[in-house]
Amino acid sequence: MPTPLRYAPDPAALARELEIRDADVLDVIDARGGTAYPVSVDIGLANRFPFAGAGQRQRAVNRALSSGSIVRTATGLLGRASRHV
């Protein structure tokens, strides 16, 4: 019985199905010590999600910023939002 052929994954199909969540952005920031420059977060997301395009990664960061999961400091760093009220 012949074995089924295995094909390389289609990068475009994988990118369409991929969703980078706020938790993924937070994981990248936490891995960099709790704060990071936006380009460092982008590189971290690119390493974790190699099939995601730059636009997808930027939308994920913007979504995390607008949801309040992360904040941009006065110096331009991204960090975890403080939940103290």
Mean pLDDT within 43-65: 92
What kind of architecture, by CATH, is found in domain 19-80? Orthogonal Bundle (1.10)
Average pLDDT, the chain: 86
Instruction: Assign 18 a pLDDT band (cuts: 50, 70, 90).
Output: confident
Using DSSP, state whether 33 is helix, strand or coil. Answer: coil
pTM of the model: 0.78
pLDDT at position 84 over 80: no
- CA 25 from centre of chain: 4
Tell me the C-alpha distance between 73 and 79, whole Å.
7
Name the strands in the sheet holding 70-72, side by side, starting at the edge strand that comes first in the sequence. Answer: 35-36, 78-80, 70-72
Q: Are 38 and 60 in contact (CB under 8 A)?
A: no
